[in-house]
Amino acid sequence: MYDRVYSLVTFLHHFSLILNKKLTFVADILITLIMKIIGKHFLRLALLLAVLPLKAQQPKQGMVIPLTADAASTLTVYLPDQPSGRAVVALPGGGYTHLAINKEGHDWAPFFNQRGIAFFVLKYRMPHGNPSLPVDDAEKAIRMVRDSALSWHINPYDVGIMGFSAGGHLASVVSTRAAFDARPNFSLLFYPVISLDRKAAYSRSAGAFFGDKVEDKAAIEAYSTDRQVRSHLTPEAAIFLANDDKVITPLANGVAYYSAMRRKRNNCALYVYPHGGHGFGYSSSFPYHQQLLNDLSTWLEKHKSVSPQAIRVACIGNSITDGAGIDMSETEGYPAVLHKLLGNGYNVRNFGVSARTLLSRGDYPYVKELAWRDAQAFNPNVVVLKLGTNDSKPENWQYGADFEHDLLAMVDTLQSLPTRPVIYLATPIPAFKPTWNINDSVIANAIIPIIRKVARKRRCKIIDLHTAFAPYGKLMQTDGIHPTAEGAAKMAEIIRESICQK
């Protein structure tokens, strides 16, 4: 408001000089009126200044920032002298009844700050049967750290979450269930509660979290986070626990989360120490304290981050993008290989979901998936959209008349993003066998012409994978539909050539 007022006054002053007329009085009158308005609304302006976004503040070391109006939830800030850009938000445990906020929170600050990592300790509200209270606090903390990235010297694409026991459960809830902007980039889980089935979990945690819904099967399913892990969308994790933990059974909790991550082909590390029980936190009495610090330090060192200035590339597609049949598709699927080929100046993300169709009336429409929402929230600079293989099935192609409309809708949605991304429409690779009723004739003669038509209409670029990949039938899995790891690497090479063309 003040900038606009100043500009208007300046304009009037210069205009009076140009015309050699005394219009200064006009500016004086305008200023007088404005000052009356400001005076009238002074209290409102004062309140506005008082609640300016916290991201504009440079906190003092150990500064406590309230996250709720009553300060029931707070975030304590520890910033390093030489920031690396990485940040970690710690969630202490305590069975959802209290917080072990020192050994599972503040005591860790020097460890992280010495490594250039900004460290935050969240005091979250106890649920008392209302899970949304601690979950909202944790999500708000992640958002605040990202929103404050510039002033706190943080890379918003390198924000991790760290949780202990019940805090580990809360960290895993945010990692598996939060919206894209509140989901961390990595998770550090110490002897975490994962299952809220009272047969497997620490019953006090489940009771405090759910209250009278402690036996609600739907709630147990939703918040037992080993059941909520998703390929590519759940962030990489490192889990630390003791084999003799008698409070939180490792097999049903920390090990179960690792197993779920591995089944979904996500990157995950599991550190199991022979002795130490439960709740060791930063305690030097833990028999493997120094080894724990060394292991964590090495993991953090090897976990590379992407530059906030990197060109963001969203790979959208079905099981071929997802990397079905490739054991570790998170590192060997075509998007992962593409990331390596493009180099550090790019941030390539895999938003592939197996069995999905472009057709909104298909059996499994892609646009109904979390991956589609995440791809938009990623705000990409470049999109590689490769759908159509599953649409060729007779049960889906009966709605083929909608294909152009549905593809246009997806393209229009992507082109309306703030980044106005460059969109590459990739034709499906050949179906070398008619497995699962996938029909290569429909792909070649019906689907690809529509893809080309939409590309012309919306000025998208084409990557003709159907032609370029045709000579590589030997790089397919036995189903003739999905490429092997070598085939995925060849796809990445073809796509890279298109993206890097001037």
Residues 139 and 19 in one domain: no
Specify the residue for token string 């490769």: 386
| Alpha helices per DSSP H over 155-252 | 166-177, 203-210, 217-223
Could you give the C-alpha distances from 316 to 41, 322, 380, 407, in angstroms and in order?
50, 9, 11, 12
Cα gap 194→431, rounded to integer Å: 40
Nearest to residue 229, comparing CAs of 257, 196, 252?
Answer: 257
238 with 112, same domain: the answer is: yes
pLDDT band for position 316 (cuts 50, 70, 90): very high
Q: Is the pLDDT of residue 30 over 80?
A: no
Instruction: Specify the pLDDT at position 179.
Output: 98
Regarding whether 99 and 37 lie in a shared domain, the answer is no
**pLDDT band for position 57 (cuts 50, 70, 90):** low
| 349-371 pLDDT per residue, tens | 999 999 999 999 999 999 999 99
The residue assigned the tokens 């120490």 is 273
Whether residue 61 sits in one domain with residue 42: no
**Which of 302, 323, 353 is at the close of a domain?**
302
Percent of the chain past pLDDT 90, that is, above it, reads 83
Q: What is the CATH number of the domain that holds 399?
A: 3.40.50.1110
Q: How far apart are CA 359 and CA 460, in angstroms?
A: 19
How far apart CA 502 and CA 500 sit, in angstroms, is 6
**Mean pLDDT in the chain?**
90
Phi, psi at 361, each rounded to 5°: -100, 10
pTM to 2 decimal places: 0.87
- pLDDT category at 91 given cuts 50, 70, 90 is very high
Please check the confidence at residue 309 and state whether its pLDDT lies above 50: yes
Q: What are phi and psi of 159, to 5 degrees?
A: -110, 115
424 vs 410: CA distance, rounded Å: 12
Same domain flag for 330 and 242: no
What is d(CA 28, CA 25) in angstroms, rounded to the nearest whole number?
5
Give the SS3 label for residue 463: strand
pLDDT at 202: 60
Task: Give yes or no for a contact between 250 and 199, defined as CB atoms under 8 angstroms apart.
Answer: no
Average pLDDT over residues 212-219: 88
CB-based contacts of 336-339 (< 8 A; 24+ apart in sequence): 337/488, 337/489, 337/492, 338/313, 338/492, 338/495, 338/496, 339/313
Instruction: Output 325 or 17, whichever has higher pLDDT.
Output: 325
Give the mean pLDDT of 177-200.
94
- Please identify, among 261, 284, 302, the residue that sits at the C-terminal boundary of a domain: 302
- Asked whether residue 432 falls in the same domain as residue 456, the answer is yes
The per-residue pLDDT for 197 is: 87
Does residue 243 share a domain with residue 199?
yes
What average pLDDT score do residues 429-452 get?
A: 99
Q: Which amino acid is at 333?
A: G
pLDDT digit string (tens) for 104-155? 999 999 999 999 999 999 999 999 999 999 999 999 999 999 999 999 999 9
Q: Do 84 and 204 reside in the same domain of the chain?
A: yes
Distance CA 342, CA 86 (A): 23
Structure tokens at 153: 């010297």
3-state secondary structure of 276: coil
430's CB contacts (< 8 A; 6+ apart) are 440, 443, 444, 466, 469, 470, 473
Instruction: Out of 302, 335, 352, pick the residue that ends a domain.
Output: 302
Measured between alpha carbons, how far is 144 from 138 in angstroms, rounded to an integer?
10
The CATH number covering residue 227 comes to 3.40.50.1820
In this structure, the answer to whether residues 270 and 378 fall within a common structural domain is no
- Please answer whether residues 180 and 373 qualify as being in contact, where contact means their C-beta atoms are separated by less than 8 angstroms: yes
Question: 250 with 318, same domain?
Answer: no
For residues 154 and 147, the answer to whether their CB atoms sit within 8 Å is no
pLDDT at 249: 93
φ/ψ (deg, to 5) at 369: -90, 150
Same domain for 373 and 276: no
Within this chain, do residues 8 and 125 fall inside the same structural domain, yes or no? no
Q: How confident is the model at residue 60 (pLDDT cuts 50, 70, 90)?
A: low
Give the lowest-confidence range in 50-54, 69-73, 232-236, 341-345.
Answer: 50-54
Query: What is residue 204's predicted lDDT score, i.e. its pLDDT?
Result: 76
When pLDDT is averaged across residues 206-222 and rounded to a whole number, the result is 89
State the pLDDT at residue 200. Answer: 63
Angle between helices 166-177 and 203-210 (to 10 degrees): 50
Cβ atoms of 79 and 110 within 8 Å: the answer is no
Count of structural domains, the chain: 3
What pLDDT score does 58 carry?
A: 59
Percent of the chain predicted with pLDDT > 70: 87
pLDDT at 59 over 90: no
Token output for 427: 């034709």
Residue 71 is part of which domain span?
55-302
